[in-house]
Structure 1
Amino acid sequence: MRGGGDPDLPARVFLTRVIEPGDEITGRWVRELGVAEVVRRLRDGERPLPGVSGRRWEGLRARALRAEPERDLDVARAAGVRFLGPGDVEWPRQLDDLGDARPLGLWVRGRADLRMWALRSVALVGARACTEYGAHMAAGLAAGLAERGWVVVSGGAYGVDGAAHRGALGAGGATIAVLACGVDRPYPRGHTELIARIAEQGLVIGELPPGDHPTPSRFVLRNRVIAALTRGTVVVEAAHRSGSLVTARAAQRLGRHTMGVPGPATSALSAGVHELLRGDAVLVTDAAEVVELVGAMGELAPDRRGPVLPRDLLAPGARRVLAALPGRGAAAAREIALGAQTTEDDAIARLYELRALGYVERHGDGWKLTRQAMISVRRPRSPC
C-alpha cells in the first residue's frame, strides 16, 4: 500500500467488506465514534450501533464474521492493487464533499497518483446503448480533453463510457475508470482488455474489495464518486431514466459544473440530456467549450463564426455602396448615394473601387453588379 498516512487503514479495509458503498449511517458512525470503535463493535456484537434495525444488525454481523482484511490486502498486492484511506497523501480531498457518504476507502489499480490526476479531471458519461453519433462525440471530446492535459473519468461500461476511455487512450492521454465491483474483476467482461489497458496507461479505482461483484445499486452509488472526483460532468446521450443523469445531478448537488451534448430533438437517447440543458446544465459541443468551464481563467473557447467572404474584407463605406446597388439592372450614382446614405462624390469613388475589385461594372451613366457579385451579394430572402 502506498502512502501509509492512515493508521486506520486495516480497519477501513475491513469495513469495505462489511458495508455497502455510500452508506451514510456508517459514515456517521465513523465520524462520531471513529473507525476502530465501529469495527470493534461490529466484531464483538455486544452493543449494536445506533440507527439500524435488529435484522440489519444481524446481517452486518454476519458479514463482519467473514471479513478477512489481511487476506484482502494480500490478494490486492498480488494483483497490483493498493488501498487508499482518507488519511493517505494520495487521497483526493474533493471526495470529502460527499460528507457521510464519502467512500470508506478506495482500491486503486495503476501507477499514477490519483490525487494529482483528479485535480484536473472531467467526467464523460452517457448511454450504454449509444448511437454512432454518441460514440463519436464521446471519443472526440475525450481525445480533445486528453490533448489539453485533462484526465477523462468514466465508468468503464459499454457505449459512451467505453468510447470516452478509448478516445483518451488513443490520444495518448490519461483516463480513470471507476468500477462498481472489485478492481481486480473487470466488468463488463467484454471490456476486460480495455480495463487492463486503462490500468496500464491510467487508473482503475473502486470502493469494493477484491473479487466483489457489481449490483444495480452499486452502479448507482458508484456515480457519486465519479461526480465528486471531477471538476465537471459531461453527459453524452442519456434517456430520461439513464444512470448518467444520476451522475449529473450528483455533480450539481456538489457544486460541480454540469454539461450536456445535444442530440436530435426526436432521439429518445438524447431526451435526458435535453432535460438537463433546460435546467442548469451548459451546452457543449467540443473539448474547448468544456475546458472553458472547468479550466483556469482565460482558457476560453475560440469564437464561433462562419466563413469569411470576400465582401467581409471591404471597408464599411464600400459595403454600404455595394448593398445599395439593385439586384437587377443598372442605377445612377445619385440613386446609389441615396441608398448608401452618402454623397454622390463619395459613392462614385466607392464605385470605382468596387469596379477595380470586380464587384460592379459601368453601363453608360449607370452602374450594375457583375455576375460574380450578384452571386456573392445575393439579397437574403424575407423571413416571411
Structure 2
Amino acid sequence: MPQPYLPTRFGVFLAPYHRPDRDPALQLRRDLDLVAALDRLGYEEVWAGEHHSAGYEIIASPELFLAAAAERTSRIMLGTGVNSLPFHQPLILADRICQLDQQSRGRAVLGVGPGQLPSDAFMTGVDPRRSRAMMSESLDAIVRLLRGETVTTATDWFTLEEARLQLGPYRGRELEVAVASAVSPTGAVLSGRHGISMLSLAAADPTGFATLDTNWAAHERACAESGHLPDRTGWRLVTPVHLAETREAALKQAEFGAPDLVAYIEALGGSRLEGCATPAGAVERWTAEGLPTFGRAVIGTAEDAVERIAELAEKTGGFGTFLILQLDIAEPAAALRSLEIFAERVVPRLTGTAEARRASLDWAARNSERFVGALRQATWEAVARKGEVR
C-alpha cells in the first residue's frame, strides 16, 4: 500500500479572533504586519475570513483586507477564508475577487462557505436551514462566471441575466476556488461536483478529524460522477498551532490567550466549558480533548507539529497544504516566534529540503578519518618542503 504523502505547502488561516476590548484599528494593522512577515518567512498562503457579528472576528470584507496585504507582499497567495455565499450576489462577488486577482497579479484564491455565525445569518434574514442550498446555487454561478461563461439563471434569491465578467482573472489564468468542508459531506460533494479544491476547517476537531477520510471519499465520488479528476494537492487542512523551544514554554505562553477564546466559545454557546476555570486548565483541555470551534491545538515543539501533521496525512491518505489557524494564543512576540519555528524547523522536515544537508554531513562524518588523514599528510609534506611549492 503506498504511503500517504505529506503536505508541501504551508500557510496561515486568519479569521481573525481578537478580544473585543482592544483597538480594532491596531489589531487589523498588526494582522497586516503579520501577513508581511509570513511573506518574508516563505509561507505560501494566507487566508482571511468574513464575519459580521459577535465582536471577535472583525474582518467584514476579506477582499478589502487582502488588497491591503497585497501591497505589503510579493509572493504569498491571498485566500478569502471564506466568503459566505448566501450574503452575496454571485456576479458582484466574482467581480470583486477578479479585481483582487488583478491588483495582486494573480495571487487571489476564492474560498467559499455557507457562513459560520448564525448571528450573521439572522441579521441578514438568511434562514440557516437554507444556507447550504443557497451556497450551492451561488457556487454554480460563480464557477461558471470565473471560467468565462455567460450565465443566465434565476433562483428565489438572485437573478443573473446574460451575466459575464468584464475583467476576469489575471491574464486569463484559472482562479482557484476552494469550498469549506467541516463535518458534513456537503462541501466535499460540492467541490467534487465542480472539480475544485476543498478546505477542511474542522481537521483539528475530533469529530471533524474522524470524517476526513469519508469526506474525501465523498469528494472522489462526486468527481467521478461529474467527470473531474480528484486532486489531493488542492486539499487544505486547518489546525491551531503554537510552538516554542520547549513544550513547557509553549504551554505557559498559551495561558495568555486561551481564557479569551474560552470566553468567546462560552458567550456563543451560552454555557460554561468544563475544566477551563483557570488559564492552565483551559490550555490542558485545548490540547487534550479540544475546544468547541477550535478543536485540539498543537501547543509544544516543532517535533509535536511534525507528529500531528503526519497523523493528518495518515488519516487522509495525503493532502497538499497545511494551514495554521492563527489565534491570539500568545503575546505577539511569542506568536511571531512560533511562526518562525514552524518555518525554520517543521517545513524542512516535512518537505525533505534538509535531507541533502544531513546526507552530506553524514558522508563527511563517515569519511572524516580519511579526509583528516589526507589533510595532515599534506601539511606534513608542506613542512618537509619548508614551504616550497611544487
Shared fold (TM-score greater than 0.5)? no
Q: Larger relative contact order (C-alpha < 8 A, sep ≥ 6)?
A: 2
* TM-score between both structures, scaled by the size of structure 1: 0.30
* TM-score between both structures, scaled by the size of structure 2: 0.29
Structure of larger gyration radius? 1
